[in-house]
Amino acid sequence: MANRPVLITGFEPYGGRGTNPAHEAMKQLHGRTIDGKTVIGRGLPVSFGRFPEIAANLIEELNPSTVISLGLWPGESMIRIERIGVNIADFGIPDNDGTLAVDEPVDRNGAAALMSTLPTRAIERAILREGIPASLSATAGTYLCNICLYSFLQAAQQHREPVACGFIHVPYMPEQVAELLVAVRDQASVELHQRSDFASMDLQRIIRAVEIAILQ
Ligand code: PCA
């Protein structure tokens, strides 16, 4: 039987930003062969309305052995490996369709939470061994990244073959922080949150961390 591919998803830009490092990393990983497996990259819309179908359809279409989804966590200082998807949608800002979910379930009939089926601890250790800051995280938030993690885990449960699924949040790229600082100075319209918005990681390190995750 042919080797099943690894699916890497990356969210499109959202929240008024022009780029998303998750999307950039996904594009660069698309088409690579890692550990004998073909990496297929797909962009995901920041749209509650497109989930959970989009996750189920991708698993059906590609039959991946592993799904690693990527998203930006603004202000995060390290690679953040998510452990749990929760059945809550509660947005601080509207999604790209203008939907603002407040205290809604992701799936009315779904479990309260689903655990990542990636080897999260091994991934954290392996990334740290290469000198890239990384940590485990208990929550992917209650916005689209959490919906994505929850939806892929649910779709994997329904799939005919085992699919390991998980989510990695990544920091801003340095260029984005530089832009943010210019915007803060010029427009005085964007506030900085406890100065954590200064945190960033260059795209090549982000990509290397995802490669390491694929290798575990
Ligand atoms: N980050 C958001 C949604 C898309 C993204 O890249 C999140 O953390 O939910």
Q: Which of 50, 51, 86, 143 should be mutated for ligand 1, with most atoms under 8 A from CB?
A: 143
Q: From CA 108, how far away is CA 179, in angstroms rounded?
A: 40
Pocket test for ligand 1, best of 9, 24, 44, 169 (most atoms within 8 A of CB): 169
Instruction: Find out whether the beta carbon of 71 lies less than 6 Å from any atom of ligand 1.
Output: yes
Q: How far is the CA of 12 from the centre of ligand 1 (A)?
A: 9
The residue whose two tokens read 């929760």 is 86
Is the residue at 36 inside a domain?
A: yes
Is 185 within the bounds of a domain?
A: no
Which CATH number fits the domain that encloses residue 99? 3.40.630.20
Q: According to the model, what pLDDT value does residue 1 have?
A: 47
Q: What pLDDT shows up at residue 179?
A: 87
Nearest to 141 by CA among 133, 150, 131, 132: 150
- Structural domain for 114, as ranges: 6-173+201-215
- Assess whether the C-beta atom of 172 lies below 6 angstroms from ligand 1: no
Does residue 180 belong to any structural domain of this protein? no
φ/ψ of 133, rounded to 5, equals -60, 130
Ligand 1 pocket, mutate which of 20, 27, 46 (most atoms under 8 A from CB): 46
Does ligand 1 lie within 6 Å of residue 167's CB atom?
Answer: no
Residues carrying an active site annotation? 82, 145, 169
Global pTM?
A: 0.95
The per-residue pLDDT string of the chain (216 residues; one tens digit each, 9 = 90 and over) reads 468 999 999 999 999 899 999 999 999 999 999 999 999 999 999 999 999 999 999 999 999 999 999 999 999 999 999 999 999 999 999 999 999 999 999 999 999 999 999 999 999 999 999 999 999 999 999 999 999 999 999 999 999 999 999 999 999 999 999 988 887 777 766 666 555 568 999 999 999 999 999 999
Atom 9 of ligand 1, nearest CA residue? 145
Cβ of 79 less than 6 Å from ligand 1: no
User: Per the structure, how many domains does the chain have?
Assistant: 1
Ligand 1 contact via 150 beta carbon (within 6 Å): no
Which atom belonging to ligand 1 lies closest to the Cα atom of 46? Answer: 4
CA 170–ligand 1 middle distance (angstroms): 9
pLDDT at res. 186:
79
Within its chain, how far is the Cα of 175 from the centroid? 20
Classify each residue of 47-71 as buried b or exposed e, where b means 16 or more C-beta atoms within 10 Å of its C-beta.
bbebbbebbbebbeebebebbbbbb
pLDDT (0 to 100) of residue 163? 98
Q: Is 145 in the pocket of ligand 1 (CB under 6 A)?
A: yes
The whole-number pLDDT of residue 195 equals: 57
Q: Say how far apart CA 174 and CA 61 lie, in whole Å.
A: 35
Note whether residue 187 is domain-resident: no
